[in-house]
Amino acid sequence: MYSYSGMKFVSVLKIMKKILLLSVFICLIGAGCAPTTDETNNTRTSTTPLSDTEILTEKDFHLYGFHDRKRINPTAQTFTVQINENRAPFIFHVVSLATSTNGYIEIFRNGEKTPYQRIELDPTLMFATNVPEWFTLRDINFDGFSDIGIIAEAGAKWGSYQYWIFDQTSEQFRITPLTDDLRKLTFNTIQFDSMAKQIMVDNFYNGITGTKKDTYLYQDGHLHLQKTHIKENITREDEKVNTPTPTLHCKITTKTYTNGKEHIITEELNHTCSGPFGR
């Protein structure tokens, strides 16, 4: 009896750990925390379920999905989206993994009843059983057309996304070298700068004691790392010996990459780093 109770208690702890991990992740990546700099407040607010006919744009989506998850049906949801102001809306029917079928995304042209494209989803995706909640739009290749994405992997402080880029010629949403590059990036926050054609990725560094920002340039269909900015709180070795309570200093390391060469500049401030992603 004691052994059985112990095993049952351990199982409960494992379940609670998973719930806690998911809760922390959802908060950190935008479901309950402050929005990142590229998000806007120009979003619809409603307590009613999302209508299949409500026309949405990229502004209605945060980095990790529709701005109000309470309106989304996690099993299956239809999004009517205008991906470009000069194009008629597309309709995306997003379906989660079920017992007998994998998840998928069906894409319809406006007014048509038959999908012209169907994307089968990997059943091992992090949130395969509630894909609609993590469906998002971003113009990741800066061509003026919104691309689609879903979350692929996640941890307590990071996530990564699988995107499909809109091909203007075929009107298909496709996997490309850029989507492969983005799939490999993990981030706490991510920003897309359409003017500079840059993508900025923020992560915690060395646990949660520091932060790291990587800046990538989109060029020739790929991402190219341009700069890495790291900040962390440190104590000086001499102060560890001579001071009972050493002062924390903010160490800032900036790495730039040109022609395959790395250039490093280090700066040390007489105060702690502000944060999480400021100076």
Q: What six digits make up the tokens of 81?
A: 């989206």
DSSP H helical ranges for the chain: 2-28, 177-183, 237-242
What distance in Å separates the CA atoms of residue 185 and residue 182, rounded to the nearest whole number?
5
Is the pTM above the cut of 0.75? yes
Average pLDDT over residues 248-273: 90
Per residue in 142-188, pLDDT (tens digit) is 999 999 999 999 888 889 999 999 999 999 999 999 999 999 999 99
264, β-bridge pairs? 255
107, β-bridge pairs? 92, 117
**Closest to 23 in 3D by CA, of 200, 126, 157, 205:** 157
Counting every residue written for the chain, the total comes to: 279
| Average pLDDT value for the chain | 83
Per residue in 105-139, pLDDT (tens digit) is 999 998 999 999 999 999 998 899 999 999 999 99
Beta strands (DSSP E) in 6-158 are 55-56, 61-62, 65-66, 76-81, 90-95, 104-109, 117-120, 136-138, 147-154
Q: Which amino acid is at 228?
A: T
CA distances for 174 relative to 50, 113, 134, angstroms? 26, 22, 18
Query: What is the domain partition of the chain in residue ranges?
Result: 37-180, 196-279
Secondary structure tally for the chain: helices H, strands E = 3, 17
Per residue in 201-220, pLDDT (tens digit) is 999 887 667 899 999 999 99
What distance in Å separates the CA atoms of residue 209 and residue 113, rounded to the nearest whole number?
52
Q: Rg of the Cα trace of the chain? A: 22
**Closest to 52 in 3D by CA, of 30, 24, 77:** 77
